[in-house]
Amino acid sequence: MKLLFCVNKDIHSFVFIRGLLEHFKPFKYSIFYTSGVGKSSVQPPTLLQELTFIERTFPSQLEVEDSSLFWNVFHASAIRMLEVSSFSPQDLYAAMQDEAPDVVISVRFGKIFKGNTLSIAKHPILNMHSGLLPQYRGILGTFWSFLHQQPYYGYTIHTIDDATIDTGHILHQKRYPTQEAGSLFSAIHGLYKPASEQMIGLLKHVETHGILPSGHPQEGVGAYYSTPTMQDCDLFCTQSIRSVYTKEDLKVVRELLSVPSVLRNIKKHNQT
């Protein structure tokens, strides 16, 4: 089975792919990545700057210091690693077509799949969404759940059936009590390892049965959320004592970036 990961270059995507590769090894894979998600602004709110630092900037700094960390290991083991941030829909389709994947797995990807890209693989595109659907479509579902003081937050694995955002059939969904969450970063980050374990189950189902589970349509009223404004972030900080990240979170990121031995052997599978 050949996989194409379409991801964003950040710690969450890294942990998701790493968790999957640790327990589902004998396949070939490629990685297409973007370097950001959502709208950019000249001066984003401090909260979003802090979140960007621990999700992307800090891991990249560590990567420069130690070539065995973070995305460098995937550069060494993937058949192809390609940044597609500036790609047009036509360029993205052509690049995906070259890979001829059996399954496309999307995690925090900064582009919308449209037209022919939706049928590029043998099976529907799978997306890991860090929010509960259909209530929290779009980006930063955990932030919005906390801001709206919801009792639960969580993640959803669903198919991408058309060019609309986060509207496909749900294959798996997991909820966590908001009151038990720590920092905003740790809450978001904690979704990705269990989600990768669920994705392994879906891939094994494809290997065994030749098809994905059917899933079920989304039920209830859906809502789409984009990048939080300054006012949204101010309200979040006013009504919550929850920090964006802690010193302990920085230590966790350092530990997560160590490369397990299983990834050092993936290259052998990709070259055979």
Alpha helix stretches (DSSP H) within 104-191: 141-147, 184-189
The whole-angstrom separation of Cα 251 and Cα 220 is: 40
Q: 102-151, pLDDT tens digit by residue?
A: 999 999 999 999 999 999 999 999 999 999 999 999 999 999 999 999 99
Residues 142-165, mean pLDDT to the nearest whole number: 96
CB 154 within 8 A of CB 173: yes
Report the number of secondary-structure helices (H) and strands (E) in the chain. 12, 9
Q: Report, in this order, helix, strand and coil percent for the chain, each rounded to 5.
A: 45, 20, 40
Q: What is the structure's pLDDT at 60? A: 87
Q: 206-246, pLDDT tens digit by residue?
A: 999 999 998 999 998 899 999 999 999 999 999 888 999 99
CATH architecture of 2-257: 3-Layer(aba) Sandwich (3.40)
The whole-angstrom separation of Cα 3 and Cα 27 is: 7
| Pairing, β 125-129 against β 152-160 | antiparallel
Q: Is the pLDDT of residue 261 over 60?
A: no
Provide the strand spans (E) within the chain: 2-8, 28-34, 81-83, 103-107, 125-129, 137-138, 152-160, 170-177, 224-225
Reduce the DSSP state of residue 69 to 3 states and report it: coil
What are the sequence ranges of the domains in the chain? 2-257
The whole-angstrom separation of Cα 101 and Cα 79 is: 12
Q: 24-59, pLDDT tens digit by residue?
A: 875 688 999 998 775 555 688 999 999 999 999 999
Q: What is the structure's pLDDT at 1? A: 87
Cis bond before residue 213 (omega within 30° of 0): no
Q: What is the structure's pLDDT at 256? A: 85
Q: Is the pLDDT of residue 267 over 60?
A: no
Reduce the DSSP state of residue 89 to 3 states and report it: helix
Q: What is the structure's pLDDT at 161? A: 93
Of 35, 26, 29, 32, nearest to 60 by C-alpha is 35
Confidence tier at 262 by pLDDT (50, 70, 90): very low
Q: What is the structure's pLDDT at 109? A: 96
